[in-house]
Amino acid sequence: MTVYVDYQDLFPDSEETRHVHVLAGNSHLPSDNYVLNEHYCGDISCDCCRVRLEVIAASSRKLAAVVYYAWEEGEEADLDGQNPYLEPMAAQGPHAEAVRGLVEQVINDDSVYRERLKRHYGEVKQFLADHPELAVHEDAARARQAIASWSRMLGEGLGPPTRSPRERNQAKRRRKRKEQRRSRKRNR
Ligand SMILES: [Zn+2]
Protein backbone atom coordinates (compact mmCIF):
# COMPACT_ATOMS: atom_id res chain seq x y z
CA MET A 1 0.00 0.00 0.00
CA THR A 2 1.34 3.36 -0.94
CA VAL A 3 1.55 5.88 1.85
CA TYR A 4 0.51 9.35 0.77
CA VAL A 5 1.95 12.42 2.41
CA ASP A 6 -0.21 15.44 3.06
CA TYR A 7 1.57 18.43 1.51
CA GLN A 8 0.18 20.78 4.19
CA ASP A 9 1.52 18.42 6.85
CA LEU A 10 5.07 18.86 5.57
CA PHE A 11 4.74 22.52 4.61
CA PRO A 12 2.16 24.00 6.98
CA ASP A 13 3.18 27.57 6.09
CA SER A 14 2.50 27.14 2.41
CA GLU A 15 -0.53 29.10 1.30
CA GLU A 16 -0.69 27.43 -2.06
CA THR A 17 -3.66 25.14 -1.48
CA ARG A 18 -6.13 25.62 -4.30
CA HIS A 19 -9.73 26.55 -3.48
CA VAL A 20 -12.50 26.55 -6.06
CA HIS A 21 -15.68 28.53 -5.40
CA VAL A 22 -18.70 27.01 -7.05
CA LEU A 23 -21.66 29.36 -7.26
CA ALA A 24 -25.27 28.21 -7.20
CA GLY A 25 -26.69 27.35 -10.62
CA ASN A 26 -23.28 27.26 -12.30
CA SER A 27 -22.67 23.55 -12.14
CA HIS A 28 -23.98 20.13 -11.14
CA LEU A 29 -22.35 20.70 -7.79
CA PRO A 30 -23.86 22.27 -4.69
CA SER A 31 -22.51 25.78 -4.28
CA ASP A 32 -19.57 25.63 -1.92
CA ASN A 33 -15.90 26.36 -1.49
CA TYR A 34 -14.04 23.23 -2.58
CA VAL A 35 -10.55 22.78 -1.14
CA LEU A 36 -8.11 20.71 -3.19
CA ASN A 37 -5.81 19.14 -0.58
CA GLU A 38 -2.70 17.73 -2.15
CA HIS A 39 -1.17 14.39 -1.19
CA TYR A 40 1.90 12.88 -2.76
CA CYS A 41 3.27 9.37 -2.72
CA GLY A 42 5.77 9.10 0.15
CA ASP A 43 7.96 6.47 -1.48
CA ILE A 44 11.13 8.26 -2.59
CA SER A 45 12.10 5.38 -4.87
CA CYS A 46 8.84 5.80 -6.81
CA ASP A 47 8.42 8.34 -9.58
CA CYS A 48 4.69 8.07 -10.28
CA CYS A 49 4.35 11.77 -11.18
CA ARG A 50 0.90 12.13 -9.80
CA VAL A 51 -1.03 13.93 -7.11
CA ARG A 52 -3.86 12.63 -4.97
CA LEU A 53 -6.34 15.44 -4.46
CA GLU A 54 -8.66 15.03 -1.51
CA VAL A 55 -11.39 17.51 -2.28
CA ILE A 56 -13.16 18.86 0.80
CA ALA A 57 -16.42 20.78 0.76
CA ALA A 58 -15.58 23.63 3.12
CA SER A 59 -19.11 24.15 4.48
CA SER A 60 -19.48 20.59 5.82
CA ARG A 61 -15.74 19.71 5.96
CA LYS A 62 -16.76 16.44 4.31
CA LEU A 63 -14.75 14.67 1.70
CA ALA A 64 -16.40 15.35 -1.68
CA ALA A 65 -14.07 13.18 -3.79
CA VAL A 66 -10.62 11.65 -4.05
CA VAL A 67 -9.14 12.42 -7.46
CA TYR A 68 -5.79 11.49 -8.98
CA TYR A 69 -4.07 13.54 -11.63
CA ALA A 70 -1.02 12.09 -13.39
CA TRP A 71 1.14 14.37 -15.55
CA GLU A 72 3.08 11.53 -17.09
CA GLU A 73 0.27 10.14 -19.24
CA GLY A 74 0.01 6.40 -19.72
CA GLU A 75 0.05 3.63 -17.16
CA GLU A 76 -1.21 5.76 -14.28
CA ALA A 77 -4.34 7.05 -16.00
CA ASP A 78 -7.62 5.31 -15.37
CA LEU A 79 -8.78 2.38 -17.54
CA ASP A 80 -11.33 4.62 -19.24
CA GLY A 81 -8.49 6.90 -20.25
CA GLN A 82 -9.69 9.57 -17.86
CA ASN A 83 -7.17 11.88 -16.27
CA PRO A 84 -7.87 13.19 -13.64
CA TYR A 85 -9.70 10.13 -12.40
CA LEU A 86 -11.54 9.02 -9.27
CA GLU A 87 -9.76 6.79 -6.77
CA PRO A 88 -11.63 3.49 -7.26
CA MET A 89 -10.98 2.23 -3.71
CA ALA A 90 -11.99 5.39 -1.85
CA ALA A 91 -15.38 6.14 -0.34
CA GLN A 92 -16.48 8.95 -2.65
CA GLY A 93 -19.00 11.69 -1.97
CA PRO A 94 -22.38 11.78 -3.73
CA HIS A 95 -21.16 14.36 -6.30
CA ALA A 96 -17.76 12.77 -6.90
CA GLU A 97 -18.07 12.64 -10.68
CA ALA A 98 -19.00 16.33 -10.87
CA VAL A 99 -16.08 17.13 -8.55
CA ARG A 100 -13.78 15.18 -10.87
CA GLY A 101 -15.09 17.30 -13.75
CA LEU A 102 -14.40 20.46 -11.75
CA VAL A 103 -10.82 19.34 -11.06
CA GLU A 104 -10.33 18.51 -14.72
CA GLN A 105 -11.50 21.97 -15.71
CA VAL A 106 -9.14 23.64 -13.24
CA ILE A 107 -6.19 21.54 -14.39
CA ASN A 108 -6.91 22.12 -18.07
CA ASP A 109 -7.44 25.86 -17.70
CA ASP A 110 -4.65 26.71 -15.28
CA SER A 111 -1.12 25.98 -16.41
CA VAL A 112 0.28 27.76 -13.33
CA TYR A 113 -1.57 25.30 -11.11
CA ARG A 114 -0.32 22.36 -13.17
CA GLU A 115 3.26 23.54 -12.74
CA ARG A 116 2.69 24.15 -9.04
CA LEU A 117 1.56 20.54 -8.53
CA LYS A 118 4.72 19.29 -10.20
CA ARG A 119 6.84 21.62 -8.07
CA HIS A 120 5.11 20.45 -4.87
CA TYR A 121 5.68 16.82 -5.88
CA GLY A 122 9.39 17.59 -6.22
CA GLU A 123 9.44 19.40 -2.86
CA VAL A 124 7.87 16.42 -1.07
CA LYS A 125 10.29 13.92 -2.63
CA GLN A 126 13.21 16.18 -1.71
CA PHE A 127 11.94 16.64 1.85
CA LEU A 128 11.65 12.88 2.31
CA ALA A 129 15.09 12.30 0.83
CA ASP A 130 16.50 14.87 3.29
CA HIS A 131 14.63 13.35 6.27
CA PRO A 132 15.06 9.58 6.08
CA GLU A 133 14.10 9.39 9.79
CA LEU A 134 10.52 10.13 8.76
CA ALA A 135 10.39 6.64 7.29
CA VAL A 136 10.02 5.47 10.91
CA HIS A 137 6.61 7.04 10.92
CA GLU A 138 5.37 5.02 7.99
CA ASP A 139 3.37 2.63 10.17
CA ALA A 140 1.86 5.54 12.05
CA ALA A 141 0.95 7.18 8.76
CA ARG A 142 -0.71 3.98 7.61
CA ALA A 143 -2.68 3.65 10.80
CA ARG A 144 -3.78 7.26 10.60
CA GLN A 145 -4.83 6.79 6.99
CA ALA A 146 -6.83 3.69 7.88
CA ILE A 147 -8.56 5.45 10.78
CA ALA A 148 -9.36 8.41 8.55
CA SER A 149 -10.91 6.22 5.89
CA TRP A 150 -12.92 4.22 8.43
CA SER A 151 -14.36 7.35 9.94
CA ARG A 152 -15.14 8.61 6.45
CA MET A 153 -17.01 5.40 5.75
CA LEU A 154 -18.91 5.91 8.97
CA GLY A 155 -19.86 9.34 7.70
CA GLU A 156 -18.06 11.18 10.45
CA GLY A 157 -16.20 13.54 8.21
CA LEU A 158 -12.46 13.81 8.24
CA GLY A 159 -11.18 11.65 11.05
CA PRO A 160 -8.41 12.68 13.41
CA PRO A 161 -6.51 15.85 12.60
CA THR A 162 -3.09 15.15 11.16
CA ARG A 163 -0.07 16.23 13.18
CA SER A 164 2.63 18.53 11.94
CA PRO A 165 6.24 17.28 11.76
CA ARG A 166 6.99 19.48 14.80
CA GLU A 167 4.24 17.86 16.85
CA ARG A 168 5.43 14.45 15.73
CA ASN A 169 8.95 15.24 16.89
CA GLN A 170 7.65 16.45 20.25
CA ALA A 171 5.72 13.21 20.70
CA LYS A 172 8.80 11.26 19.76
CA ARG A 173 10.89 13.08 22.36
CA ARG A 174 8.20 12.48 24.98
CA ARG A 175 8.20 8.76 24.20
CA LYS A 176 11.97 8.66 24.39
CA ARG A 177 12.05 10.39 27.80
CA LYS A 178 9.44 7.97 29.11
CA GLU A 179 11.47 5.08 27.79
CA GLN A 180 14.61 6.42 29.51
CA ARG A 181 12.78 6.84 32.81
CA ARG A 182 11.50 3.30 32.57
CA SER A 183 14.92 1.81 31.84
CA ARG A 184 16.46 3.81 34.74
CA LYS A 185 13.86 2.27 37.04
CA ARG A 186 14.62 -1.18 35.76
CA ASN A 187 18.33 -0.74 36.33
CA ARG A 188 17.90 0.41 39.90
ZN1 LIG B 1 4.74 7.12 -6.34
**Span 135-166, pLDDT tens digits:** 545 566 666 666 666 666 666 544 444 566 66
pLDDT of residue 148: 65
**Residue stretches of the chain with pLDDT short of 50:** 136, 157-161
Residue 64 C-alpha to ligand 1 middle, in angstroms?
Answer: 23
Helix (H) or strand (E) holding 119: helix 111-130
Residue 14 C-alpha to ligand 1 middle, in angstroms?
Answer: 22
Residues in the chain, how many? 188
Residue 48 C-alpha to ligand 1 middle, in angstroms?
Answer: 4
Residue 178 C-alpha to ligand 1 middle, in angstroms?
Answer: 36
Residue 110 C-alpha to ligand 1 middle, in angstroms?
Answer: 23
Q: Is the peptide bond prior to 84 cis by the omega test (within 30 degrees of 0)?
A: yes
Residue 45 C-alpha to ligand 1 middle, in angstroms?
Answer: 8
Residue 135 C-alpha to ligand 1 middle, in angstroms?
Answer: 15
The span from the CA of 146 to the CA of 36, in Å, is 20
DSSP tag of 77: S
Buried b (16+ CB within 10 A) or exposed e, 23-61: eeeebebeebebbbbbbbbbbeeeebbbbbbbbbbeeee
Residue 108 C-alpha to ligand 1 middle, in angstroms?
Answer: 22
Helix (H) or strand (E) holding 4: strand 4-6
pLDDT of residue 38: 97
Residue 4 C-alpha to ligand 1 middle, in angstroms?
Answer: 9
Residue 38 C-alpha to ligand 1 middle, in angstroms?
Answer: 14
Residue 37 C-alpha to ligand 1 middle, in angstroms?
Answer: 17
Residue 32 C-alpha to ligand 1 middle, in angstroms?
Answer: 31
User: Phi and psi dihedrals of 85, rounded to 5?
Assistant: -140, 155
Residue type, 70: A
